[in-house]
């Protein structure tokens, strides 16, 4: 984010709708970004074709698919009917599906990472396995996001990376068709995606990979568990700390990956604004297909939003979250679930007591400096938010309308929409930036609010 903000043109301002009353809706949330992009990478590295059903189609996942295509992979987008799905997948697998047909990876190629952490971190190790140079470039913000862990590790594992000493984008990975691999130490305290990136390609390195994290803390552990579970489901052998292994050490054995038929779970972090709407308005929202077991960090919302005043029930209809009519503040460490911070901060600003959000210093290097942006934008509406060393302190105050700037950050935009439910006259800048992970956000939001109160959708 920047200090001096020119007024956005009116056409870029989205008048955030206030809630006409308690919401009562069922909202079908599109697929998980993190699962879709891991699924695409693993399918690319497999020895046989695979399927991704109900993939997320958003800026981040389309960038991933396009990048893999430029390296030679075939990704066909199809619409599937129930009859063409496996029995095990059943009804859930109808809808859009991507067929991924792996091929020998090749350069020269140019990858546009946009501002997708998953693309800029997961693909350099894949590029090291390509035959030829692969250039990586992206949005201006992508130059500022940490990549040193991936670049340093790839060099240590035998790859040539040309970054003109920046340790960041833009850069070129000079793939030779294979990589030695082996043991490597990295400091992943600025992003768990460094660890995930090396593990995902690890089965294809000659010696596999052993990643040892040496930094002071490691954010987003559920996302690393997601990587480990998805690798195992594709047939890889992985030793991880949570299975009794050494703390902070992961080992992936070299071996072929299987082509999978994977149905992508709904994105639970993108379910956040809708659950929060139930909490804020004292209403009720059901998210169908909420998984019983998942590694997605969004699952923690059941506990966090319950502590803030709601209640939830998981049954065959999905997850139903009900607001209790009162919003309380929370003191919570969000280090494992950092991407939920903007939405929690917005709810906390509307609560009846103070909140402290801890363990999220690394958010300063996300899509924007999320801590600074949340302070500036919530305070711009009359709030009282201060930045701490590793998070935010939020003292609720009556808020007023105004422009909520979003700094090309999808989660800032949904946070602004949440505030608008309770505060008249909030205008969210560039709501289209939600397209990074949730392209239909405005329609889903207005649909949720349009459901007649008392009548379930
Ligand atoms: O691996 C992933 O899919 C992600 C890991 C996390 O990154 P950081 O560890 O950099 O926060 C998370 O914030 C991001 O939205 C998605
Ligand atoms: C941090 C996020 O994304 P990225 O994958 O770009 O790191 C996010 O989605 O909140």
Q: Kindly report, residue by residue over 283-306, the tens digit of the pLDDT.
A: 999 999 999 999 999 999 999 999
- Specify the DSSP class assigned to residue 30: P
Residue nearest to atom 8 of ligand 2 (CA): 339
Q: Kindly report, residue by residue over 122-142, the tens digit of the pLDDT.
A: 999 999 999 999 999 999 999
The domain 33-263 having CATH identifier 3.65.10.10: the answer here is: yes
Is 193 known to sit in a ligand binding site? yes
Give the per-residue pLDDT at 391: 98
Residue nearest to atom 12 of ligand 1 (CA): 339
Closest listed ligand to the CA of 60 = 2
Write 228-231 long-range contacts (CB < 8 A, 24+).
Answer: 228/199, 229/295, 230/35, 230/38, 230/39, 230/42, 231/42, 231/199, 231/200, 231/202, 231/203, 231/257
Distance 36 CA to ligand 2 centre (A): 13
Same fold, 10-30+266-450 and 33-263: yes
Confidence of residue 453 (pLDDT cuts 50, 70, 90): very low
Dump the DSSP string for 45-78.
TSSS-EEEES---SHHHHHHHHHHHHTT-EEEEE
Q: Is the pLDDT of residue 92 over 50?
A: no
Average pLDDT over residues 353-364: 98
Distance 436 CA to ligand 1 centre (A): 14
Task: Please list the alpha-helical segments (H only) found in 138-246.
Answer: 148-156, 193-201, 221-233
Q: What Rg, from alpha-carbon coordinates, does the chain have? A: 22
Tell me what percent of the chain is helix, strand and coil, each rounded to the nearest 5: 35, 25, 40
Is 376 known to sit in a ligand binding site? no
Pocket of ligand 1 (CB under 6 A): 34, 117-118, 191-193, 196, 219-220, 223, 338-339, 362
Q: By three-state DSSP, how is residue 132 classified?
A: strand
Confidence of residue 95 (pLDDT cuts 50, 70, 90): confident
Find tokens 């990643």 and name the residue: 211
Give the per-residue pLDDT at 91: 43
- Specify the DSSP class assigned to residue 268: T
Contact (CB, 8 A) for 409 and 367 = yes
Sign for the CA dihedral angle at 397, 401, 402, 407 comes to positive
The span from the first CA to the last CA of the chain, in angstroms, equals 38
Residue nearest to atom 3 of ligand 2 (CA): 117
Distance CA 273, CA 268 (A): 10
Helix (H) or strand (E) holding 384, with range, is strand 384-387
Give the least confident one: 11-15, 67-71, 144-148, 436-440: 11-15
Give the per-residue pLDDT at 4: 54
Nearest ligand 1 atom, CA 220: 9
Cβ neighbours of 381 (radius 10 Å):
21
Q: Kindly report, residue by residue over 262-287, the tens digit of the pLDDT.
A: 999 999 999 999 999 999 999 999 99
Mean pLDDT across the chain, nearest whole number?
94
Testing ligand 1's pocket by substitution, the residue of 58, 121, 294, 339 carrying the most ligand atoms inside 8 A of its CB is: 339
Give the per-residue pLDDT at 173: 98
Q: Kindly report, residue by residue over 157-179, the tens digit of the pLDDT.
A: 999 999 999 999 999 999 999 99
How does strand 284-287 pair with strand 310-315? unpaired
Distance 297 CA to ligand 1 centre (A): 10
Burial of 243 (0-12, 13-18, 19+ CB in 10 A): exposed
Rounded to 10°, the helix 272-281/410-422 angle is 20
Q: Which CATH superfamily is domain 10-30+266-450 in?
A: Enolpyruvate transferase domain (3.65.10.10)
- Domain-wise residue ranges, the chain: 10-30+266-450, 33-263
273 close to ligand 2 (CB < 6 Angstrom): no
Is 164 known to sit in a ligand binding site? no
- Reading the block at residue 86, the tokens are 């496996």
Distance CA 271, CA 52 (A): 21
Contact (CB, 8 A) for 440 and 30 = yes
Closest listed ligand to the CA of 362 = 1
Helix (H) or strand (E) holding 344, with range, is helix 341-349
CA 325 to chain centre: 30
Distance CA 124, CA 196 (A): 12
Enter the ipTM: 0.99
Rounded to the nearest 5°, which phi and psi values hold at 82?
-55, -35
pTM of this structure:
0.95
362 close to ligand 2 (CB < 6 Angstrom): no
Distance 82 CA to ligand 2 centre (A): 32
Distance CA 444, CA 257 (A): 37
**283 versus 452: which is more confidently predicted?**
283
Q: Kindly report, residue by residue over 177-215, the tens digit of the pLDDT.
A: 999 999 999 999 999 999 999 999 999 999 999 999 999
Is 339 annotated as catalytic? yes
Testing ligand 2's pocket by substitution, the residue of 62, 297, 367 carrying the most ligand atoms inside 8 A of its CB is: 367
Confidence of residue 81 (pLDDT cuts 50, 70, 90): low
Confidence of residue 454 (pLDDT cuts 50, 70, 90): very low
Give the per-residue pLDDT at 86: 46
| Identified catalytic residue from 339, 367, 427, 429 | 339
Average pLDDT over residues 97-126: 98
Closest listed ligand to the CA of 220 = 1
CA 434 to chain centre: 12
Distance 91 CA to ligand 2 centre (A): 30
Average pLDDT over residues 348-364: 98
Burial of 112 (0-12, 13-18, 19+ CB in 10 A): middle
267 close to ligand 2 (CB < 6 Angstrom): no
Contact (CB, 8 A) for 220 and 338 = yes
Give the per-residue pLDDT at 6: 61
């Amino acid at each position: 984010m920047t200090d001096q903000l020119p007024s956005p043109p009116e056409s870029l301002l989205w008048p955030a709708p206030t809630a006409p009353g308690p919401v009562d809706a069922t909202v079908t949330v599109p697929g998980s970004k993190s699962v879709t992009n891991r699924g695409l990478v693993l399918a690319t590295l497999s020895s046989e074709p695979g399927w991704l059903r109900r993939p997320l189609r958003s800026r981040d996942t389309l960038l991933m698919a396009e990048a893999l295509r430029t390296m030679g992979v075939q990704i066909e987008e199809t619409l599937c009917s129930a009859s063409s799905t496996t029995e095990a997948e059943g009804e859930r697998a109808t809808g859009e599906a991507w067929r991924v047909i792996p091929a020998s990876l090749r350069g020269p190629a140019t990858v546009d990472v946009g501002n997708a952490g998953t693309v800029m971190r997961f693909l350099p190790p894949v590029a090291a396995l390509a035959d030829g140079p692969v250039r990586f470039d992206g949005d201006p913000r992508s130059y500022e996001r940490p990549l040193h862990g991936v670049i340093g590790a790839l060099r240590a594992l035998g790859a040539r990376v040309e970054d003109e000493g920046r340790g960041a984008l833009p850069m070129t990975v000079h793939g030779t068709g294979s990589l030695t691999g082996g043991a490597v130490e990295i400091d992943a305290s600025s992003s768990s995606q460094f660890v995930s990136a090396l593990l995902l390609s690890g089965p294809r390195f000659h010696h596999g990979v052993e990643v040892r994290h040496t930094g002071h803390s490691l954010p987003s552990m559920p996302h690393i568990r997601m990587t480990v579970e998805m690798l195992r489901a594709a047939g890889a052998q992985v030793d991880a700390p949570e299975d009794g292994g050494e703390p902070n050490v992961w080992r992936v054995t070299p071996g072929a990956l299987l082509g999978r038929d994977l149905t992508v779970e709904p994105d639970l972090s993108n379910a956040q604004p809708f659950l929060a709407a139930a909490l804020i308005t004292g209403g009720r929202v059901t998210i169908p297909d909420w998984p019983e077991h998942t590694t997605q960090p969004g699952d923690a919302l059941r506990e966090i939003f319950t502590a803030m005043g709601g209640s939830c029930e998981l049954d065959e209809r999905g997850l139903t979250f009900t607001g209790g009519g009162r919003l309380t503040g929370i003191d919570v460490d969000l280090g494992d679930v950092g991407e939920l911070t903007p939405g929690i901060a917005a709810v906390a600003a509307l609560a009846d007591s103070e909140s402290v959000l801890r363990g999220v210093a690394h958010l300063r290097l996300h899509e924007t400096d999320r801590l600074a942006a949340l302070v500036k934008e919530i305070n711009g509406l009359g709030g009282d938010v201060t930045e701490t060393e590793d998070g935010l302190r939020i003292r609720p105050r009556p808020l007023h309308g105004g422009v909520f700037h979003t700094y090309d950050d999808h989660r800032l935009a949904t946070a602004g929409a949440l505030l608008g439910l309770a505060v008249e006259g909030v205008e969210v800048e560039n709501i289209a930036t939600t397209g990074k992970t949730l392209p239909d956000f405005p329609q889903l939001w207005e649909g949720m609010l349009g459901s007649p109160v008392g009548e379930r959708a």
